Chain A
Amino acid sequence: MKKTMESGRVDQTSLGHNVHLAERAYRIRRNALRMGEVQGQGYIAQALDIADVLAVAYFHAMRFRPADPTWEGRDRFLLSNGHYAIALYAALIEAGIVPEDELETYGSDDSRLPMSGMARYTPGMEMSGGSLGLGLPIAVGIGLGLKRKQSPCRVFTLFSDGELDEGSVWEAIQSAAHWRLDNLVAIVDINNQQADGPSTKIMGFEPLADKLRAFGWFVQRVDGNDIDAVVAAFDAARDCPEPKPRIIVADTRMGRGVPFLEAREKNHFIRVESHEWQLALQALDEGRTA
């Protein structure tokens, strides 16, 4: 279990809690690999890289009722990068929001678990994100709506570094700060990979944290695969007293948790041979900490 450099002695309670979160992340990865195996393909490298963030979001930061995914008192979660549906389903299954026995229907005809997230028929999927660049704008509206209702609930949204290319995302970045949406927590997955190659080569977005701060956000940049750091970031995003929206810039490694996939040539849509799914599950089990 890694200690964060700044914190010195790690509190024993949080150590136990964070070990528990690592276990959740492991099971999310496992669910994602099993879904990938069902279809023989999928955005599996992304699911592996974001599993730690999802574990912390769902099992540390957010309030929800598994049996009632539209409970008014829930924290909202918007998956802007719709192609990460495989990752979110993995988390929703772990959270008990999507029944475990639906896992094998992933990506199949008449399934409630299509490859690109659909709000209309999937419990826990609060928007249809396939077009990309939509989540943060909707989150602004939800943030405004929650404030209208004087609700203590928060809206979380996950989007990917490629979406930083979309002008709509920057409209939302500006707007959220303008409206002082301190009930909005965004997470951006910086895995430096999009359809045509490394994101920094396609449309450079650095220095990202500086830009976001200049736009009026409370910004934290963390290793998105270091659970302690991610927990600390979600806590700080909750506790920040400033009337600003919050963003966690999470640097992640695609394929994380399965060494041979993490080492594989970085592809937006990673190639996995049919026999490799079981090898991946084995590698995941072997690498399991705690």
Chain B
Amino acid sequence: MTRTAGKPKLKTSAMIASIADADQPTREAPFGHALVELAKTRPEIVGLTADLAKYTDIHIFRDAYPDRFYQMGMAEQILMGAAAGLAHEGMMPFATTYAVFASRRAYDFIHQTIVEENLNVKIACALPGLTSGYGPSHQATEDLALFRAMPNLVVIDPCDALEIEQAVPAIAAHRGPVYMRLLRGKVPLVLDGYGYRFELGKAKLLRDGADVLIISSGIMTMRALAVAERLAGDGIRAAVLHTPTIKPLDTATILREAGRPGRLVVVAENHTRIGGLGEAIACELLSAGIVPPFRQIALPDQFLDAGALPTLHDRYGISANAMTASIKGWLG
């Protein structure tokens, strides 16, 4: 026997990991395929990236339409500036990079060259929130807070492959700048069982329940649905309100659902607890005089660890197990 025979295999700290569980149905590169489909009838669409074509699934658009694709190199400021310039000339640029680089390095360019002039640029970014084990350089923990704070910018956090597929034409139909988080590679497919149709600016009740209302966006809706099933097994009735559009927030629906008495309201986001969906909803509720019992499931206000995603999701409370335990604890 070798000395290492008894040691557990170390879990990988992957930069890019699929967020799908082993048994989950997935679709491959929904963003890339949806963009190619849309581009057939929209000749003004062009694609750009900053050396992340393969990692944002825009390589599929590149391969289908090489003369409509601009590789800008690892240079996020000019990625956004050039997207602005192309929009000045009447194109509809889809510019991709990782969420960390758009929200940090390129923020001034997005703010000043694109959004302040209301240009028709769609910024689509992979590795939202905690979907990388690579460490803080790649974990976009505050992108929603930063982009929410930009006037006139539409901000979207889609749940799954189906929603990404539907959101691409929807954001193209919207006249004005859009920031959309995206998942790439093998993306989970979850919403097909719910008769779901993405509508920009609309929150949708995917399941109803009298004990707890989970308001969620992005991958947290996928988690919330799984958690609701588990809670049901323990006799706890959970509702899930999916809120993919962070800005403009569907305040009317949120107030209506959160205003229904007798439920714990939990806002779940793959994002820091600061400045994201939770704080946005808390502000809306309090301003409307609606004060239900309220909790956040969100990433902590810290620089997050590197490691395997399942480990990190447990550690930071956003795994299905951790969420279930938290909610049960709050319900007492």
A residues adjacent to B (C-beta < 8 A): 76, 119-120, 126-128, 130-131, 133-134, 136-146, 148-149, 167-168, 171-172, 174-175, 178
Contacts and interface: CB of A to CB of B under 8 A. Distances in A.
Given A134-B109, A138-B85, A142-B85, 16 more contacts: A119-B117, A120-B116, A120-B117, A126-B88, A128-B112, A131-B108, A137-B78, A141-B82, A144-B70, A144-B82, A149-B90, A168-B77, A171-B73, A172-B78, A174-B73, A174-B75
B72 interface: yes
Contacts of A136: 81
Interface in B34-66: 46
Nearest 7 A/B pairs, CB to CB? A141-B85, A137-B81, A145-B89, A141-B82, A142-B85, A168-B77, A171-B78
B78 A140 contact: yes
A131 B89 contact: no
A121 B69 CA distance: 31
B224 interface: no
Nearest to A155: B85
Given A120-B117, A168-B109, A134 B81 contact: yes
A171 B77 contact: yes
Given A131-B112, A149-B89, A168-B109, A141 B77 contact: no
Contacts of B251: none
B84 interface: yes
Nearest to A136: B81
A83 B85 CA distance: 21
B198 to A, nearest CB: 29
A124 to B, nearest CB: 14
A290 to B, nearest CB: 38
Contacts of B91: 145, 148
A133 B75 CA distance: 14
A168 to B, nearest CB: 4
B299 to A, nearest CB: 30
A144 B86 contact: yes
A146 B78 CA distance: 17
A136 B77 CA distance: 11
Contacts of B18: none
B83 interface: yes
Contact of A142 (B73, B77, B89, B112): B89
Contacts of B87: 141
Given A142-B89, A144-B86, A145-B89, A175 B112 contact: no
A146 B108 CA distance: 25
